[in-house]
Amino acid sequence: MKNAPIEIEIKLNASPAMLAALERHPCLAGSGRSGRFITTYFDTSDRLLEQAGISLRIRSRPGKREQTAKVMSLPCGTVHREEWTTSLTGKMPQIETFPAPIRERLCRILGHNDVRPTSISRITRLTRHIQAGDSSVEVDFDTGTLAAGDQTEQVCELELELVKGRLRDLLRLALDLPLGPDLQWSVVSKSKRCAWRTCANGHMERAAQEPILSEAMNVTEGFHAIGWNCLYQLLANYPLVVASGHHEAIHQCRIAIRRMRVAFDLFGQCLPERERHRLKAGIKAVGGVLGKARDLHVLHLRLMEHAEDAGAQAVLAVIDKAQGEAVQEAARVLASTSFQRLLFELALSIETGNPGNREGDLPLGPFAAQCLSRKRHQLVFEDRRIDALGRRKIHRLRIRAKDMRYSACFFRSLWPKSAEKSGKKPFISCLERLQDKLGKLHDHAITSDRFGLFADNPDPIATAQMAAELKRLLSLQNGNCEKLIRQADEALAHVRGAARWWLA
């Protein structure tokens, strides 16, 4: 056995009432069978498997016990996972009985570390087999509990697994369902949910990971890999925003949205022509909602440096209230029917592409090099120093630096050796420094626009006084702006001088 079977599955979290209603949904109708099973998930004490994107479990049914390892599969691990299953007699995983590819990988990751149970799920499952378009699909209605330590949560899920056919049929089936607050797309496995529960709410968000590309890819295949990569980052983080208003998850969702917008700019012709502008408008709107919550969080952090300052408490109270409302609005939007449908529409567009695109069959490497050269020119053409630019042009420079960095990270794996040997100051490192300095300048700028926060106060005197207090507190940090401008100028000079490894 050389290769693992690939599991292609969409998981949706449902409310109990919604799951019951879905059993009667015409798109999911059919005869079925019911069963119960207990699943124990395993990992090391420092979650080595979870960090490597692997889940390890033992599933017990009456008269049967088996162990399974699942691994995210490229290019779109969002819905594709390698699945290795072997029979088992004991109560602990037996790594040595797995086939060689996954056995060797597990041994390499685990080293001498022992695995231990992290959680147990007890599930009742109703399974049906249906037809969706030209594809055969297994539909699982799961209810039960998931226990980790002394915490227990209810499980209520709908799983759509492709038995035979095409992923696009699975995505279209999901779009025929009543998506919204009671039925949301989830890429968070039960083992990952266990990790969330055992890490005390720390580091639950998922940062961007660079897509893996190859010289053999054409433009369409490159867009497919990059598009799914961006979508996965969004899917992995938005549930945290909906559930708890997690600030770092909001930030990661914003990054995912911006990366996707850059990908759509680079590969615009790969999107279905009829959907192109509507999808771009949708993700831009989501980014705006997230941006408001993020900007208020940044403002709150800045002012907390002066929390002991007399008069700051009243200003902080107003900002706290506005921040809470913005986070609630972000959570509402991400749980909405419009956003849930947008997720599947994005996935379907990435998966189907644009068959009429003339560039689609061209080799990816030369296309990527042209894109990077164009982005670099847009960034460095400005010959004036940053301190001579107006606020609007500084903002535009920041966006271009961000776009250049995301584009370079998308394509870096096409030139791994050239990127590693690109000189003393690698190009992407210079971009990261420039983006960091311009980002902090932007944070200073947007906080200066927040005097409207006090407009709801019916007392004009109190309103004016709090606005004046905010202005005073922000002025305490104005010296930092001059330093940031100097540092940004230096960073831009380094970007201009950094080697362009895509021309090697």
What count of Cα atoms within 13 Å lies in the side-chain half-sphere of residue 277? 1
**Residue 262 burial (C-beta neighbours within 10 Å; 0-12, 13-18, 19+):** buried
- Sequence-distant (6+) residues with CB within 8 A of 456 are none
Task: Tell me the three-class secondary structure of 429-489, residue by residue.
Answer: HHHHHHHHHHHHHHHHHHHCCHHHHHCCCCCHHHHHHHHHHHHHHHHCCHHHHHHHHHHHH
- Find the helix or strand (DSSP H, E) in which 142 lies: strand 135-148
DSSP secondary structure letter of residue 218: B
Does the pLDDT value for residue 207 go beyond 90?
no
Q: Tens of pLDDT along 436-472? A: 888 888 777 665 555 566 666 678 887 788 878 887 8
Bridge partners, residue 7, by sequence: 81
- Sequence-distant (6+) residues with CB within 8 A of 325 are none
**How much is the average pLDDT of 350-359?**
89
Tell me the C-alpha distance between 138 and 334, whole Å.
27
Tell me the C-alpha distance between 73 and 8, whole Å.
10
Q: Tens of pLDDT along 7-65? A: 899 999 999 999 999 999 999 998 899 999 999 999 999 889 988 889 999 999 988 99
Tell me the C-alpha distance between 145 and 137, whole Å.
25
CB burial of 100-139 (b: ≥16 within 10 Å; e: otherwise) equals eebbebbeeebeeeebebbbbbebebebbebebeebebeb
**How much is the average pLDDT of 127-142?**
97
Tell me the C-alpha distance between 481 and 396, whole Å.
17
Q: Measuring CA to CA, how many Å separate 204 from each of 44, 78, 192?
A: 17, 17, 9
Tell me the Ramachandran region of residue 119: left when phi exceeds 0, alpha when psi lies from -120 to 50, beta otherwise.
beta
Does the pLDDT value for residue 212 go beyond 50?
yes
CA angle 223, 229, 231 (to 5 degrees): 100
What count of Cα atoms within 13 Å lies in the side-chain half-sphere of residue 347? 29
What DSSP line would sit under 152-206, residue for residue?
EEEEEEEEEEEEES-HHHHHHHHHTS--BTTEEEE---HHHHHHHHHTTTSS-S-
Tell me the C-alpha distance between 493 and 487, whole Å.
10
Say if CB 121 and CB 144 are below 8 A apart. yes
User: Is residue 64 helix, strand or coil?
Assistant: strand
Q: Tens of pLDDT along 181-203? A: 999 999 877 666 655 555 544 55
Say if CB 451 and CB 475 are below 8 A apart. no
Q: Tens of pLDDT along 268-306? A: 999 988 889 999 999 999 999 999 999 889 888 888 888
Does the pLDDT value for residue 420 go beyond 60?
no
- Sequence-distant (6+) residues with CB within 8 A of 276 are 264, 268
Q: How far apart are the first and last CA of the chain?
A: 40
Pick 73 or 77 by higher pLDDT: 73
The model's confidence at residue 1, banded by pLDDT at 50, 70 and 90, is very low
Say if CB 395 and CB 445 are below 8 A apart. yes
What is the pLDDT, as a whole number, of residue 199? 52
Give residue for tokens 């945290």. Answer: 240
Out of 119-133, 225-239, 438-452, 458-472, which region has the weakest mean confidence (pLDDT)? 438-452
- Sequence-distant (6+) residues with CB within 8 A of 120 are 38, 39, 40, 41, 146, 147
Does the pLDDT value for residue 354 go beyond 50?
yes
Tell me the C-alpha distance between 423 and 306, whole Å.
42
What is the pLDDT, as a whole number, of residue 485? 86
Does the pLDDT value for residue 148 go beyond 90?
no
What is the pLDDT, as a whole number, of residue 188? 79
What is the pLDDT, as a whole number, of residue 2? 42
**How much is the average pLDDT of 209-227?**
94
Tell me the C-alpha distance between 470 and 317, whole Å.
12
Count of residues for the chain? 504
Tell me the C-alpha distance between 101 and 95, whole Å.
11
Say if CB 340 and CB 178 are below 8 A apart. no
